[in-house]
Structure 1
Amino acid sequence: MIEGHCDPDFENVGRVFRANFLERGEQGAAVAVYRDGRLVVDMWGGWADAAKTRPWTSDTIICMMSVGKGMAALCVWMLVDRGLIDIDRPVAHYWPGFGQAGKEGITVATLIAGKAGLLYADHAPDGAGYDWATMIDALERQEPEWAPGKDHAYHSATAGYLLGELVRRVDGRTVDRFLAEEVSGPLHADYGYGAAWADPDRVADVLPNCNSHTFVQTRDQSTKLGRAWRMRPQSDDHYNDPRMRSGLMPSTNGHGNARSVARIYAALAQGGTLDGVRLVSPETIDRMRAETWFGTCAMTDRTFRYAHGFFLNEPLMSPMGTNPRAFGHPGAGGALGFADPENRIAFSYSPSLMCEGGGLGERCKALSDAVYA
């Protein structure tokens, strides 16, 4: 059931991918690695549904959860690179309605670094997450949890809206359209928000894990993550809900596969350009991955190492090989995409079965480690 190819120099990745199915409970997944702009690992296997009736194929896609926040951050940085956004200017300069409830002085840099304190959308009705206008109105009225810049946290539920609306205010296009027209389309990468653009038969089911900290806490409104995700419509199977596959919730509903996400990060590992498609400059990449904080996240109480809209390599929570300057974005349950510009490597993993705990799990870490072994 394992298919695809693996260059001889990376055969250890292939061995680990097979071992994940035999030894670590993998159900369905894909892994991809680019080096020097070339796809050197492209493997997939297992099943695309819980009943094991649909094999995972070369073009299967799946919800990769918060991997989509990194894509939203990339869209913002592309506008910075083009001179359309100055990260030191207040967000309200581009989005006037944002400048209320104590947010007047929040700069783009503070926002994208996770220091704005906008963890919640308390003014949104329960279940309003797919109503963009309602969510933006709620965030305009939201009071920061702390004086902007004083503390830091992973903006688990709100980052996609905040960065996505900034893109819309500056460029005029919604963030899903911008991503499709400026990133995924030109790079021929099979990735986008929701999955309405894909044949439904290509979409694999996410298999929840009751031992996943994110899965448990987001369903419990007494927790900070539960308060943040209160705006997500209630469903017995919200990861595979039709609204998840058709709406726009860029904090969580980006759909794609390892090959497509690795291809996007391959451009960032190559100085911002791949196969003639330019996303950003090398100088902008260095600004994107400059460390802004390393410590306990005020949302999750986990230890993260954070840049500007991206996570930095950290062995426990965001394992990205051996280069401390590698950067990317994880997704709840174990999905990951990252770029390592110094080694010109890009990596992605897209599983169906969510991992246990609060990190990326042993399956993802084993694959990431294998790339460098």
Structure 2
Amino acid sequence: MSGLVSGVRGYCDERFMVVRDAFEENFRARDELGAAVCVVVGGESVVDLWGGWADGARSRVWERDTLVNVWSTTKGPTALCAHLLMDRGLLDPDAPVAAYWPEFAAAGKEGVRVRHLLSHRAGLAGLREPHSAEELYDWELTTSRLAATEPWWEPGTRSGYHALTYGFLIGEVIRRITGRMPGAFLREEVTGPLGVDFTIGLPEKDADRAAELVPPPAMPPAVQAARLAGLTPVALAALLNPPVGAGTANTAAWRAAEIPAANGHGTARSVAALYGIFAGHGEYGGHRVLSADAVERVREGQGSCRDLVLGAGFRHETQAGLGLWLSGPNGSYGPNPRAYGHDGFGGSCGLADPDAGIAMGYVMNRMGPDIADDPRKMALVRAVYAAVGR
């Protein structure tokens, strides 16, 4: 490969060359290492590009089927599983969580509703007691501690980003209803039948396809200290209990665990396919996966506010729907405020705009410093909407 930009491969419809330009510019100007982007419009793949390197040593080329940990972009597929159960009449968003998970009623949580879990309004953004990465890998321990703990704030009153706990909360409800772990439910009900290359956790047989995550450049100590000093106790619990990063996610232990908020592994193509179910009004590849009502239910805004964990990072207030974040005034998922999606720590993204029929998946291995709205992702989002004249 003679150069990073010349290493970009794949397909791009001539109508969407501005997206290829933005993708290449990420390598030239935004320190991209290895990445892929896929855009689906009206059920048709119009962009499917990949390039760069799959490791920090630049010894492995990023291939068409390279997988990478997409962090919180995983939350979209996890929410999809919950909405499948709602479609089947097995899960009621207005029911108390304790109706499915009786132990959850402890510590004053008997009134917490399923919709509060989906919209980061349950008050359980992080555990109060120290919780190590090794303990995070223990499903029974983590869910039992969540069931026993008290909320940080009155549930339902505002959002506070449930960075890691989201997947255990939704996932345990899925497990109580179906008897299956969320990863197995997703595989057996969605990704397996549809042939989508996405898993929660990473099967050992796919380890050779996995890209190495590379951390962002270290902050100057004074800047890092100032950031930490500005975090509230709930933000510290959500983001640093336990602290996880690129080094953690590259381990065999992380990949073998089931963390439905943060350790999904896939390609940009698979992310676009899963978010494309929402963009396609519940259909993918000619198959009905969700009802059209479910697609609208996902974007039922649960209240705009300054998020208790991430609020300072956005110009305007944010609003979660039932499982994904609305684009809103920040334009996180394009100019349509009712488009929705989810970002992954360091840059990745899944986007769905049912009104325009647009889905996008973006994955990468060099992490940026932000949890949301990474400049590389935003450049691609702007390019997609420029290509469709919006």
TM-score of Structure 1 vs Structure 2, range by shorter chain: over 0.9
Q: How does 1:243-262 map to 2 (within 5 A)?
A: 243-262=253-272
Aligned pair partner of 1:355 in 341, 361, 368? 368
For residue 290 of structure 1, what is the aligned residue in structure 2? 300
Residues 171-182 of structure 1: matches in 2 within 5 Å?
171-182=178-189
Deviating more after overlay: 264-273 vs 302-311:
302-311
Q: Percent identity?
A: 39
Distance 1:289 1:26 in 2: 31
1:301-312 to structure 2, matched below 5 A, reads 301-302=311-312, 303-312=317-326
Q: 1:59 to 1:90 in 2, by over 3 A?
A: same
Task: Go from structure 1 to structure 2 and tell me whether the alpha carbon gap of 1:238 and 1:223 turns closer, same or farther (over 3 Å shift).
Answer: farther
Matches within 5 A, 1:1-373: 1-123=7-129, 125-127=131-133, 128-196=135-203, 198-210=205-217, 224-229=234-239, 231-232=241-242, 237-302=247-312, 303-314=317-328, 316=330, 319-373=332-386
User: Would the alpha carbon gap of residues 205 and 315 (structure 1) be closer, same or farther in structure 2, given more than 3 Å must change?
Assistant: farther
Alpha-carbon contact 1:290-1:307 (below 8 Å) kept: yes
More helix per residue: 1 or 2?
2
Shift of 1:295: 2.4
CA distance in 1, matches of 2:69, 2:227: 19
Asked if structure 2 preserves the Cα contact closer than 8 Å seen for 1:217 and 1:225, the reply is: no
The residue identity in structure 1 corresponding to 2:352 is A
1:322, CA displacement in angstroms?
A: 2.1
**Alpha-carbon distance between aligned partners in 1 of 2:239 and 2:357, rounded to the nearest angstrom:** 36
Amino acid at match of 2:341: G
> Cα–Cα, structure 1 residues 305 and 197, in superposed 2: closer, same or farther, change >3 Å?
farther
Tell me the TM-score normalised to structure 1 length.
Answer: 0.93
5+ residue gaps, structure 1: none
Of 267-276 and 76-85, deviating more is 267-276
- Determine if contact 1:124/1:135 at 8 Å carries over to the other structure: no
Q: 1:158–1:44: structure 2 CA closer, same or farther, 3 Å change rule?
A: same
8 Å contact kept, 1:186–1:277: no
The structural deviation recorded for 1:269 is 1.1
What displacement does 1:292 show? 1.2
Q: What SS does structure 1 have at the residue aligned with 2:265?
A: strand
The CA distance in 2 between the partners of 1:315 and 1:260, in whole Å, is 28
Q: Name the SS for the 2:319 alignment partner.
A: strand
Which moves more between the two structures, 15-24 or 351-360?
351-360
Q: Is the CA contact 2:215–2:246 (under 8 Å) kept in the aligned structure 1?
A: no
CA distance in 2, matches of 1:197, 1:292: 39
Tell me which amino acid in the other structure corresponds to 2:137.
Answer: Y
| Partner Cα separation in structure 2 for residue 175 and residue 259 of structure 1 | 21
Partners of 2:245 and 2:14 lie apart in 1 by 45
Rate the CA distance shift 1:124–1:83 in 2: closer, same or farther, 3 A: farther
Q: For residues 230 and 134 of structure 1, do their structure 2 counterparts lie closer, same or farther at Cα, with a shift above 3 Å needed?
A: farther
3-state secondary structure, aligned to 1:268: helix
Deviations 1:140-176 (A, max 9, x none): 1010112221232111121000000010011111000
- Residues 273-332 of structure 1: CA distance to partner in whole angstroms, max 9, x if unpaired? 11233221111111111111222111233342211110111464x621222111111101
Residue in 1 that maps onto 2:3: none
Letter matched to residue 321 of structure 1:
G
Code of the residue aligned with 2:162 in structure 1: it is: H
Output the CA distance in 1 between the equivalents of 2:120 and 2:207. Answer: 34
Q: Deviations over 1:170-204 (max 9, x none)?
A: 11110000111112112211111111254222100
Partner Cα separation in structure 1 for residue 111 and residue 376 of structure 2: 42
- How many residues are paired up? 371
Output the amino acid matched with 1:141: A
State the distance in 2 between where 1:183 and 1:33 align. 20
Q: CA RMSD for the aligned pairs?
A: 2.4
Shifted more, 22-31 versus 306-315: the winner is: 306-315
Deviates more, 1:26-35 or 1:184-193: 184-193
Bigger Cα displacement from structure 2, 28-37 vs 125-134:
125-134
Is the Cα contact below 8 Å between 2:328 and 2:338 reproduced in 1? no
